[in-house]
Protein backbone atom coordinates (compact mmCIF):
# COMPACT_ATOMS: atom_id res chain seq x y z
CA UNK A 1 0.00 0.00 0.00
CA UNK A 2 1.20 3.55 -0.63
CA UNK A 3 2.69 5.54 2.28
CA UNK A 4 1.58 9.08 3.20
CA UNK A 5 3.44 10.56 0.23
CA UNK A 6 1.80 8.12 -2.17
CA UNK A 7 4.99 6.13 -2.72
CA UNK A 8 5.22 2.36 -2.63
CA UNK A 9 8.03 -0.13 -2.11
CA UNK A 10 9.07 -2.06 -5.19
CA UNK A 11 11.61 -4.87 -5.10
CA UNK A 12 13.33 -5.87 -8.29
CA UNK A 13 16.71 -6.88 -9.67
CA UNK A 14 18.57 -4.41 -11.87
CA UNK A 15 21.69 -5.65 -13.67
CA UNK A 16 21.95 -8.61 -11.28
CA UNK A 17 21.72 -6.41 -8.18
CA UNK A 18 18.71 -6.61 -5.84
CA UNK A 19 17.10 -3.19 -5.42
CA UNK A 20 14.41 -1.83 -3.14
CA UNK A 21 12.78 1.29 -4.52
CA UNK A 22 10.51 3.84 -2.83
CA UNK A 23 8.68 5.30 -5.77
CA UNK A 24 5.35 6.54 -7.06
CA UNK A 25 3.63 3.48 -8.53
CA UNK A 26 2.89 5.20 -11.85
CA UNK A 27 6.42 6.60 -12.25
CA UNK A 28 7.96 5.56 -15.55
CA UNK A 29 10.58 2.84 -15.24
CA UNK A 30 12.75 5.10 -17.43
CA UNK A 31 12.70 7.92 -14.86
CA UNK A 32 13.29 5.57 -11.94
CA UNK A 33 16.32 4.04 -13.68
CA UNK A 34 17.79 7.42 -14.57
CA UNK A 35 16.90 9.50 -11.54
CA UNK A 36 16.58 7.09 -8.61
CA UNK A 37 19.26 4.60 -9.64
CA UNK A 38 21.39 7.07 -11.64
CA UNK A 39 21.59 4.61 -14.53
CA UNK A 40 21.65 7.33 -17.16
CA UNK A 41 22.77 5.08 -20.03
CA UNK A 42 19.11 4.51 -20.89
CA UNK A 43 17.96 7.52 -22.90
CA UNK A 44 14.64 9.22 -23.42
CA UNK A 45 13.88 9.90 -27.06
CA UNK A 46 10.23 10.37 -27.90
CA UNK A 47 8.72 9.31 -24.56
CA UNK A 48 5.82 7.59 -26.29
CA UNK A 49 7.06 4.19 -27.40
CA UNK A 50 7.94 5.15 -30.95
CA UNK A 51 11.75 5.39 -30.96
CA UNK A 52 13.24 2.66 -28.77
CA UNK A 53 15.93 4.88 -27.19
CA UNK A 54 14.72 3.83 -23.72
CA UNK A 55 14.79 0.08 -24.48
CA UNK A 56 15.62 -2.22 -21.58
CA UNK A 57 15.01 -5.91 -20.92
CA UNK A 58 12.42 -7.03 -18.39
CA UNK A 59 12.66 -10.75 -17.65
CA UNK A 60 14.50 -11.11 -20.94
CA UNK A 61 11.89 -9.29 -23.04
CA UNK A 62 12.64 -6.06 -24.89
CA UNK A 63 10.42 -3.18 -23.67
CA UNK A 64 10.22 0.58 -23.91
CA UNK A 65 10.92 1.73 -20.35
CA UNK A 66 9.02 4.99 -20.96
CA UNK A 67 5.79 2.95 -21.20
CA UNK A 68 6.24 0.78 -18.11
CA UNK A 69 4.85 2.06 -14.81
CA UNK A 70 7.34 1.00 -12.17
CA UNK A 71 4.71 -0.88 -10.15
CA UNK A 72 4.73 -3.49 -12.93
CA UNK A 73 8.37 -4.47 -12.32
CA UNK A 74 7.83 -5.86 -8.82
CA UNK A 75 9.92 -9.06 -8.70
CA UNK A 76 11.28 -8.53 -12.22
CA UNK A 77 14.79 -8.98 -13.57
CA UNK A 78 15.79 -5.82 -15.41
CA UNK A 79 18.80 -5.38 -17.63
CA UNK A 80 19.90 -1.95 -18.83
CA UNK A 81 22.79 -0.93 -21.09
CA UNK A 82 24.97 -0.69 -17.96
CA UNK A 83 24.51 -4.44 -17.46
CA UNK A 84 25.50 -5.50 -20.98
CA UNK A 85 29.28 -5.50 -20.57
CA UNK A 86 30.98 -7.84 -18.11
CA UNK A 87 33.22 -5.58 -16.03
CA UNK A 88 35.65 -4.03 -18.51
CA UNK A 89 34.89 -6.68 -21.11
CA UNK A 90 32.49 -5.31 -23.70
CA UNK A 91 29.75 -7.48 -25.17
CA UNK A 92 30.39 -8.66 -28.76
CA UNK A 93 27.57 -6.36 -29.89
CA UNK A 94 29.27 -3.35 -28.29
CA UNK A 95 32.62 -4.31 -29.85
CA UNK A 96 30.93 -4.63 -33.23
CA UNK A 97 29.21 -1.23 -32.94
CA UNK A 98 32.64 0.34 -32.29
CA UNK A 99 34.32 -1.58 -35.12
CA UNK A 100 31.60 -0.76 -37.66
CA UNK A 101 30.95 2.86 -36.68
CA UNK A 102 27.43 1.97 -35.55
CA UNK A 103 27.18 4.95 -33.17
CA UNK A 104 27.20 8.62 -34.06
CA UNK A 105 25.39 11.03 -31.75
CA UNK A 106 24.78 8.15 -29.33
CA UNK A 107 21.20 8.78 -28.25
CA UNK A 108 19.78 5.71 -29.96
CA UNK A 109 22.86 3.57 -29.26
CA UNK A 110 21.98 2.11 -25.82
CA UNK A 111 18.56 1.07 -27.14
CA UNK A 112 20.02 -0.31 -30.36
CA UNK A 113 22.62 -2.32 -28.43
CA UNK A 114 20.00 -3.69 -26.02
CA UNK A 115 17.73 -4.64 -28.93
CA UNK A 116 20.63 -6.32 -30.73
CA UNK A 117 21.73 -8.19 -27.60
CA UNK A 118 18.13 -9.35 -27.14
CA UNK A 119 17.94 -10.43 -30.78
CA UNK A 120 21.08 -12.57 -30.45
CA UNK A 121 19.77 -14.10 -27.22
CA UNK A 122 16.54 -15.12 -28.94
CA UNK A 123 18.00 -15.87 -32.37
CA UNK A 124 21.73 -16.59 -32.23
CA UNK A 125 21.94 -16.87 -36.01
CA UNK A 126 19.51 -14.27 -37.40
CA UNK A 127 18.90 -13.79 -41.11
CA UNK A 128 18.51 -10.37 -42.70
CA UNK A 129 14.75 -10.19 -42.09
CA UNK A 130 15.17 -11.20 -38.46
CA UNK A 131 17.79 -8.51 -37.89
CA UNK A 132 15.52 -5.90 -39.45
CA UNK A 133 12.54 -7.06 -37.36
CA UNK A 134 14.65 -7.17 -34.19
CA UNK A 135 15.69 -3.54 -34.63
CA UNK A 136 12.47 -2.26 -36.25
CA UNK A 137 11.34 -0.43 -33.12
CA UNK A 138 14.60 1.51 -32.74
CA UNK A 139 14.98 4.73 -34.66
CA UNK A 140 18.30 6.38 -35.55
CA UNK A 141 18.56 9.78 -37.17
CA UNK A 142 22.33 9.74 -37.87
CA UNK A 143 23.66 6.54 -39.30
CA UNK A 144 21.16 5.66 -41.99
CA UNK A 145 21.01 2.26 -40.25
CA UNK A 146 23.48 0.43 -42.52
CA UNK A 147 26.39 0.66 -40.09
CA UNK A 148 24.16 -0.52 -37.26
CA UNK A 149 22.96 -3.38 -39.42
CA UNK A 150 26.56 -4.26 -40.31
CA UNK A 151 27.49 -4.16 -36.63
CA UNK A 152 24.82 -6.72 -35.80
CA UNK A 153 25.98 -8.97 -38.64
CA UNK A 154 29.56 -8.64 -37.36
CA UNK A 155 28.46 -9.46 -33.82
CA UNK A 156 26.84 -12.67 -35.09
CA UNK A 157 30.03 -13.58 -36.92
CA UNK A 158 32.14 -12.88 -33.85
CA UNK A 159 30.09 -15.22 -31.71
CA UNK A 160 30.05 -18.11 -34.20
CA UNK A 161 32.00 -19.09 -37.29
CA UNK A 162 29.18 -21.10 -38.84
CA UNK A 163 27.12 -17.94 -39.26
CA UNK A 164 29.71 -16.35 -41.51
CA UNK A 165 28.91 -18.86 -44.18
CA UNK A 166 25.19 -18.18 -43.95
CA UNK A 167 25.53 -14.44 -44.21
CA UNK A 168 27.81 -14.75 -47.23
CA UNK A 169 25.10 -16.69 -48.97
CA UNK A 170 22.56 -13.96 -48.45
CA UNK A 171 22.75 -11.11 -50.93
CA UNK A 172 22.60 -7.54 -49.78
CA UNK A 173 24.46 -7.91 -46.49
CA UNK B 1 -14.07 -5.34 -7.15
CA UNK B 2 -12.61 -1.88 -7.55
CA UNK B 3 -14.38 -1.60 -10.88
CA UNK B 4 -17.73 -2.36 -9.24
CA UNK B 5 -17.43 -0.27 -6.07
CA UNK B 6 -16.64 3.07 -7.65
CA UNK B 7 -18.07 2.57 -11.07
CA UNK B 8 -16.09 4.36 -13.75
CA UNK B 9 -13.47 5.75 -11.37
CA UNK B 10 -10.91 3.00 -11.93
CA UNK B 11 -9.18 2.29 -15.21
CA UNK B 12 -7.78 -1.20 -15.86
CA UNK B 13 -4.12 -0.92 -16.84
CA UNK B 14 -2.40 -3.71 -18.81
CA UNK B 15 0.73 -3.36 -20.96
CA UNK B 16 0.57 0.44 -20.97
CA UNK B 17 1.49 0.91 -24.64
CA UNK B 18 -1.47 3.21 -25.20
CA UNK B 19 -2.46 4.31 -21.70
CA UNK B 20 1.01 5.29 -20.51
CA UNK B 21 1.35 7.74 -23.41
CA UNK B 22 -1.98 9.35 -22.54
CA UNK B 23 -1.21 9.29 -18.81
CA UNK B 24 2.10 11.09 -19.28
CA UNK B 25 0.47 13.65 -21.56
CA UNK B 26 -2.16 14.34 -18.87
CA UNK B 27 -4.88 13.24 -21.26
CA UNK B 28 -6.37 10.46 -19.13
CA UNK B 29 -9.52 11.41 -17.27
CA UNK B 30 -8.99 8.59 -14.79
CA UNK B 31 -6.92 9.16 -11.68
CA UNK B 32 -7.10 5.62 -10.36
CA UNK B 33 -5.66 2.60 -12.11
CA UNK B 34 -6.01 -1.11 -11.50
CA UNK B 35 -2.91 -3.01 -12.54
CA UNK B 36 -4.17 -6.12 -14.34
CA UNK B 37 -0.85 -6.98 -16.05
CA UNK B 38 -0.08 -9.86 -13.70
CA UNK B 39 -3.51 -11.50 -13.55
CA UNK B 40 -3.03 -15.16 -14.58
CA UNK B 41 -6.79 -15.51 -15.25
CA UNK B 42 -6.44 -13.16 -18.22
CA UNK B 43 -3.43 -14.91 -19.75
CA UNK B 44 -2.82 -17.87 -22.00
CA UNK B 45 -4.14 -19.28 -25.27
CA UNK B 46 -6.46 -22.29 -25.00
CA UNK B 47 -7.29 -24.50 -27.97
CA UNK B 48 -10.34 -26.76 -27.95
CA UNK B 49 -12.02 -28.55 -30.86
CA UNK B 50 -14.48 -25.68 -31.29
CA UNK B 51 -12.53 -22.56 -30.37
CA UNK B 52 -9.24 -20.85 -29.82
CA UNK B 53 -9.59 -18.67 -26.73
CA UNK B 54 -7.04 -15.97 -26.08
CA UNK B 55 -6.76 -14.37 -22.66
CA UNK B 56 -7.22 -10.62 -22.91
CA UNK B 57 -3.60 -10.10 -21.81
CA UNK B 58 -2.21 -12.20 -24.67
CA UNK B 59 0.57 -10.08 -26.12
CA UNK B 60 1.24 -9.59 -29.83
CA UNK B 61 4.44 -11.60 -29.37
CA UNK B 62 2.45 -14.50 -27.90
CA UNK B 63 -0.09 -14.30 -30.74
CA UNK B 64 2.68 -14.63 -33.34
CA UNK B 65 4.25 -17.62 -31.57
CA UNK B 66 1.08 -19.74 -31.39
CA UNK B 67 1.02 -22.53 -34.00
CA UNK B 68 -2.76 -22.93 -34.13
CA UNK B 69 -3.18 -19.22 -34.75
CA UNK B 70 -0.46 -19.32 -37.43
CA UNK B 71 -2.28 -22.11 -39.25
CA UNK B 72 -5.91 -21.15 -38.83
CA UNK B 73 -5.94 -17.41 -38.12
CA UNK B 74 -2.86 -16.16 -39.97
CA UNK B 75 -4.15 -12.61 -40.33
CA UNK B 76 -4.17 -12.21 -36.56
CA UNK B 77 -0.51 -13.22 -36.47
CA UNK B 78 0.29 -10.87 -39.33
CA UNK B 79 -1.56 -8.00 -37.62
CA UNK B 80 0.40 -8.74 -34.43
CA UNK B 81 3.70 -8.71 -36.33
CA UNK B 82 2.88 -5.34 -37.91
CA UNK B 83 1.77 -3.63 -34.70
CA UNK B 84 4.55 -1.35 -33.44
CA UNK B 85 7.99 -2.94 -33.07
CA UNK B 86 9.11 -5.82 -30.88
CA UNK B 87 9.12 -3.78 -27.65
CA UNK B 88 5.49 -2.80 -28.26
CA UNK B 89 4.58 -6.36 -29.26
CA UNK B 90 6.03 -7.66 -25.99
CA UNK B 91 3.77 -5.38 -23.93
CA UNK B 92 0.74 -4.59 -26.07
CA UNK B 93 -2.22 -6.92 -25.50
CA UNK B 94 -5.12 -8.03 -27.65
CA UNK B 95 -7.62 -7.08 -24.96
CA UNK B 96 -6.00 -3.68 -24.63
CA UNK B 97 -6.19 -3.13 -28.36
CA UNK B 98 -9.94 -3.79 -28.19
CA UNK B 99 -10.58 -1.74 -25.05
CA UNK B 100 -8.55 1.17 -26.39
CA UNK B 101 -11.19 1.21 -29.15
CA UNK B 102 -9.07 2.99 -31.71
CA UNK B 103 -10.50 2.84 -35.24
CA UNK B 104 -6.88 2.48 -36.37
CA UNK B 105 -6.13 -0.73 -34.43
CA UNK B 106 -4.40 -3.43 -36.47
CA UNK B 107 -5.89 -6.58 -34.94
CA UNK B 108 -9.60 -5.58 -34.92
CA UNK B 109 -10.16 -6.05 -38.68
CA UNK B 110 -8.77 -9.59 -38.41
CA UNK B 111 -10.88 -10.31 -35.31
CA UNK B 112 -14.00 -9.08 -37.11
CA UNK B 113 -13.63 -11.31 -40.16
CA UNK B 114 -12.83 -14.30 -37.92
CA UNK B 115 -16.15 -13.83 -36.07
CA UNK B 116 -14.49 -13.20 -32.71
CA UNK B 117 -16.54 -13.13 -29.50
CA UNK B 118 -15.54 -11.38 -26.30
CA UNK B 119 -16.02 -12.70 -22.80
CA UNK B 120 -16.78 -9.81 -20.45
CA UNK B 121 -16.54 -10.36 -16.71
CA UNK B 122 -17.66 -8.40 -13.69
CA UNK B 123 -18.54 -9.10 -10.06
CA UNK B 124 -22.00 -10.02 -11.39
CA UNK B 125 -20.72 -12.79 -13.65
CA UNK B 126 -19.64 -13.31 -17.19
CA UNK B 127 -21.20 -12.91 -20.63
CA UNK B 128 -20.19 -13.44 -24.24
CA UNK B 129 -20.82 -10.76 -26.84
CA UNK B 130 -20.02 -10.83 -30.55
CA UNK B 131 -17.10 -8.56 -31.40
CA UNK B 132 -19.01 -7.42 -34.47
CA UNK B 133 -21.07 -4.49 -33.21
CA UNK B 134 -19.07 -4.14 -29.98
CA UNK B 135 -17.71 -0.75 -30.99
CA UNK B 136 -20.68 1.55 -31.38
CA UNK B 137 -18.97 4.87 -32.14
CA UNK B 138 -15.63 6.59 -31.81
CA UNK B 139 -14.10 5.15 -28.60
CA UNK B 140 -17.56 3.84 -27.61
CA UNK B 141 -18.23 0.21 -26.86
CA UNK B 142 -20.84 -2.13 -25.42
CA UNK B 143 -19.04 -2.68 -22.14
CA UNK B 144 -20.21 -1.52 -18.72
CA UNK B 145 -17.93 0.44 -16.41
CA UNK B 146 -17.56 -2.52 -14.05
CA UNK B 147 -16.73 -4.99 -16.80
CA UNK B 148 -13.38 -6.24 -18.00
CA UNK B 149 -12.55 -8.12 -21.19
CA UNK B 150 -11.51 -11.58 -19.99
CA UNK B 151 -10.88 -13.33 -23.27
CA UNK B 152 -11.32 -13.29 -27.02
CA UNK B 153 -12.81 -16.45 -28.52
CA UNK B 154 -12.32 -17.42 -32.16
CA UNK B 155 -14.49 -20.17 -33.71
CA UNK B 156 -12.36 -22.74 -35.56
CA UNK B 157 -13.33 -23.54 -39.13
CA UNK B 158 -12.50 -26.68 -41.03
CA UNK B 159 -12.97 -25.47 -44.61
CA UNK B 160 -10.14 -24.03 -46.68
CA UNK B 161 -10.21 -20.25 -46.65
CA UNK B 162 -8.21 -17.53 -48.34
CA UNK B 163 -6.82 -14.98 -45.90
CA UNK B 164 -5.69 -11.55 -47.04
CA UNK B 165 -4.39 -8.89 -44.65
CA UNK B 166 -2.88 -5.59 -45.66
CA UNK B 167 -1.80 -2.70 -43.49
CA UNK B 168 -0.81 0.50 -45.25
CA UNK B 169 1.23 2.90 -43.14
CA UNK B 170 3.95 5.48 -43.59
CA UNK B 171 6.65 3.07 -42.55
CA UNK B 172 6.81 -0.70 -42.30
CA UNK B 173 7.40 -0.85 -38.54
CA UNK B 174 6.05 1.36 -35.77
CA UNK B 175 3.64 3.30 -37.99
CA UNK B 176 -0.04 3.63 -37.18
CA UNK B 177 -2.22 2.58 -40.12
CA UNK B 178 -3.50 4.87 -42.84
CA UNK B 179 -5.79 1.98 -43.69
CA UNK B 180 -5.87 -1.64 -42.65
CA UNK B 181 -7.76 -4.38 -44.55
CA UNK B 182 -8.65 -7.94 -43.60
CA UNK B 183 -10.49 -10.26 -45.96
CA UNK B 184 -11.32 -13.95 -45.74
CA UNK B 185 -13.03 -15.91 -48.50
CA UNK B 186 -14.21 -19.42 -49.14
CA UNK B 187 -14.39 -20.44 -52.79
CA UNK B 188 -16.60 -22.90 -54.63
CA UNK B 189 -14.78 -23.44 -57.91
CA UNK B 190 -14.38 -19.98 -59.38
CA UNK B 191 -17.28 -18.58 -57.35
CA UNK B 192 -17.06 -16.89 -53.98
CA UNK B 193 -19.11 -19.02 -51.60
CA UNK B 194 -18.60 -16.83 -48.55
CA UNK B 195 -16.58 -13.72 -47.81
CA UNK B 196 -15.90 -11.41 -44.92
CA UNK B 197 -14.23 -8.02 -45.21
CA UNK B 198 -13.27 -5.53 -42.51
CA UNK B 199 -11.35 -2.28 -42.61
CA UNK B 200 -9.63 -0.09 -40.07
CA UNK B 201 -9.02 3.69 -40.21
CA UNK B 202 -11.86 4.34 -42.68
CA UNK B 203 -14.71 5.12 -40.25
CA UNK B 204 -15.21 6.07 -36.56
CA UNK B 205 -14.95 2.36 -35.73
CA UNK B 206 -13.30 -0.60 -37.41
CA UNK B 207 -15.99 -1.78 -39.82
CA UNK B 208 -17.27 -5.07 -41.22
CA UNK B 209 -18.31 -4.27 -44.79
CA UNK B 210 -21.35 -6.50 -45.11
CA UNK B 211 -22.92 -4.73 -48.08
CA UNK B 212 -19.74 -5.26 -50.07
CA UNK B 213 -19.72 -8.89 -48.91
CA UNK B 214 -23.33 -9.26 -50.18
CA UNK B 215 -22.30 -7.94 -53.59
CA UNK B 216 -19.55 -10.57 -53.77
CA UNK B 217 -21.28 -13.67 -52.41
CA UNK B 218 -21.98 -16.36 -55.05
CA UNK B 219 -20.29 -14.32 -57.76
CA UNK B 220 -17.44 -15.17 -60.07
CA UNK B 221 -14.43 -12.95 -59.63
CA UNK B 222 -14.41 -11.02 -62.90
CA UNK B 223 -14.15 -7.37 -63.92
CA UNK B 224 -17.87 -6.76 -63.40
CA UNK B 225 -17.82 -8.18 -59.88
CA UNK B 226 -14.69 -6.25 -58.92
CA UNK B 227 -16.18 -3.05 -60.24
CA UNK B 228 -19.47 -3.60 -58.37
CA UNK B 229 -17.59 -4.40 -55.16
CA UNK B 230 -15.44 -1.28 -55.46
CA UNK B 231 -18.53 0.87 -55.95
CA UNK B 232 -20.26 -0.69 -52.94
CA UNK B 233 -17.21 -0.36 -50.69
CA UNK B 234 -16.90 3.32 -51.63
CA UNK B 235 -20.44 3.79 -50.29
CA UNK B 236 -19.87 1.70 -47.20
CA UNK B 237 -16.80 3.42 -45.73
CA UNK B 238 -16.39 7.02 -44.63
CA UNK B 239 -12.70 7.91 -44.41
CA UNK B 240 -11.65 11.32 -43.16
CA UNK B 241 -8.66 13.67 -43.40
CA UNK B 242 -6.48 13.53 -40.29
CA UNK B 243 -2.83 13.69 -39.23
CA UNK B 244 -2.01 10.35 -40.83
CA UNK B 245 -3.67 10.59 -44.21
CA UNK B 246 -6.44 12.10 -46.31
CA UNK B 247 -9.95 10.87 -47.04
CA UNK B 248 -9.20 10.67 -50.73
CA UNK B 249 -6.01 8.65 -50.34
CA UNK B 250 -7.68 6.28 -47.90
CA UNK B 251 -10.62 5.71 -50.21
CA UNK B 252 -8.43 5.03 -53.24
CA UNK B 253 -6.12 2.69 -51.33
CA UNK B 254 -9.03 0.83 -49.70
CA UNK B 255 -10.58 0.20 -53.13
CA UNK B 256 -7.25 -0.86 -54.64
CA UNK B 257 -6.54 -3.23 -51.76
CA UNK B 258 -10.05 -4.73 -52.13
CA UNK B 259 -9.34 -5.33 -55.80
CA UNK B 260 -5.98 -6.91 -54.97
CA UNK B 261 -7.73 -9.24 -52.48
CA UNK B 262 -10.34 -10.27 -55.05
CA UNK B 263 -7.98 -10.76 -57.98
CA UNK B 264 -5.78 -12.99 -55.84
CA UNK B 265 -8.57 -15.39 -54.89
Q: Which of B3-7, B99-103, B181-185, B222-226 has the lowest mean pLDDT?
A: B3-7
Q: From chain A, pick out residues whose CB is under 8 angstroms from the CB of B32.
A: none
- pLDDT interval class at B28 (50, 70, 90): confident
Q: How far is A168 from chain B (nearest CA, A)?
A: 26
- pLDDT for res A160: 64
- pLDDT interval class at B169 (50, 70, 90): confident
Nearest to A137 among B24, B35, B85 (CB): B85
Chain A CB within 8 Å of residue B167 CB:
no
Q: From chain B, pick out residues whose CB is under 8 angstroms from the CB of A52.
A: 85, 87
Q: From chain A, pick out residues whose CB is under 8 angstroms from the CB of B84.
A: 49, 137
> Which residues are within 8 A (CB) of B3 and not within 5 positions of it... i.e. 6 or more apart?
B10, B12, B34, B122, B123, B145, B146, B147, B148
Q: How far is B244 from chain A (nearest CA, A)?
A: 15
Chain B CB within 8 Å of residue A138 CB:
yes
Q: Answer whether residue B182 shows pLDDT above 50.
A: yes
Q: Answer whether residue B172 shows pLDDT above 80.
A: no
Chain B CB within 8 Å of residue A28 CB:
yes
User: Can you tell me the mean pLDDT for B35-57?
Assistant: 97
List, for residues B119-154, the tens digit of each pLDDT value. 999 999 999 999 999 999 988 999 998 999 999 999
Q: How far is A61 from chain B (nearest CA, A)?
A: 7
CB atoms within 10 A of CB B260: 13
Q: How far is B177 from chain A (nearest CA, A)?
A: 14
Residues A15, A41: Cα–Cα separation, whole Å: 13
Residue B205 near residue B103 (C-beta atoms within 8 A): yes
Q: Answer whether residue B52 shows pLDDT above 70.
A: yes
pLDDT more than 90, % of chain B: 81
B161 strand-pairing partners: none
**DSSP H helical segments within chain A, as ranges?**
29-31, 92-100, 109-122, 128-134, 146-159, 162-169
- pLDDT for res A173: 41
Q: From chain A, pick out residues whose CB is under 8 angstroms from the CB of B16.
A: 67-69, 72
Summary mean pLDDT of chain B: 93
- pLDDT for res A4: 87
- pLDDT for res B1: 55
- pLDDT interval class at B76 (50, 70, 90): very high
List, for residues A112-163, the tens digit of each pLDDT value. 999 999 999 999 999 999 999 999 999 999 999 999 999 999 999 887 644 4
Burial class (CB in 10 A: 0-12, 13-18, 19+), A155: buried
Q: From chain A, pick out residues whose CB is under 8 angstroms from the CB of B174.
A: 50, 136-137, 139
Chain B CB within 8 Å of residue A134 CB:
yes
B-chain residue closest to A31, CA distance: B24
- pLDDT for res B154: 98
Q: How far lies B248's CA from each of A16, B202, B212, B240, in Å?
A: 54, 11, 19, 8
Summary mean pLDDT of chain A: 91
pTM of the entire predicted model: 0.92
Nearest to A52 among B20, B23, B85 (CB): B85
Q: Answer whether residue B29 shows pLDDT above 90.
A: no
Nearest to A136 among B17, B24, B85 (CB): B85
Q: Answer whether residue B225 shows pLDDT above 80.
A: yes
> Which residues are within 8 A (CB) of B154 and not within 5 positions of it... i.e. 6 or more apart?
B51, B52, B53, B54, B73, B76, B111, B114, B115, B116
Amino acid sequence: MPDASGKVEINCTVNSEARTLHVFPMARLLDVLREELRLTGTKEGCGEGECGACSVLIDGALVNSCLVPVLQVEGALIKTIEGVATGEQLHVVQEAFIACGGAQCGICTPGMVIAAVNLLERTPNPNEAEIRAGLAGNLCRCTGYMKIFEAVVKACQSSSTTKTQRHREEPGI
Amino acid sequence: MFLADERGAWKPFAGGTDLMVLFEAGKLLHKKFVNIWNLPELRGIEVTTEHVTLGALTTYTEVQANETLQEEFPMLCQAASETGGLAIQNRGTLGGNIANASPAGDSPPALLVYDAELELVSARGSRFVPYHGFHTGYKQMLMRADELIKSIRLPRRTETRHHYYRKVGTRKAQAISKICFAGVAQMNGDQIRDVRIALGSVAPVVVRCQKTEDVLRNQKVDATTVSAARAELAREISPIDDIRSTANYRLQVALNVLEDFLTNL
